[in-house]
Amino acid sequence: MIACTIKKKQTGAVLIVSLIMLMLVTLIGISGMQTTVLEERMASNHRDQNTAFQAAEATILQARTYIESQPLSFAYPNTGGIADDAFFTTALWASASAIATPAGYGGNFNLMADPRYIVERISPTLLRVTARAVGASPGTQVILRVIYDGS
- Walk along the chain (151 residues) and give the pLDDT tens digit of each residue: 666 666 677 677 888 899 999 999 999 999 999 999 999 999 989 999 999 999 889 888 888 888 888 777 777 655 555 555 555 566 566 654 445 666 666 556 788 878 888 887 777 778 888 888 888 888 888 889 898 886 6
Predicted confidence at residue 6, as pLDDT, reads 66
Q: Which amino acid is at 42?
A: M
Rounded CA separation 45/18 (Å): 41
Short-list 118, 115, 117, 116, CA closest to 79: 118
Nearest in space to 99 (alpha carbons), one of 81, 123, 76: 76
Instruction: Output the pTM of the full model.
Output: 0.70
Q: Are 92 and 100 in contact (CB under 8 A)?
A: yes
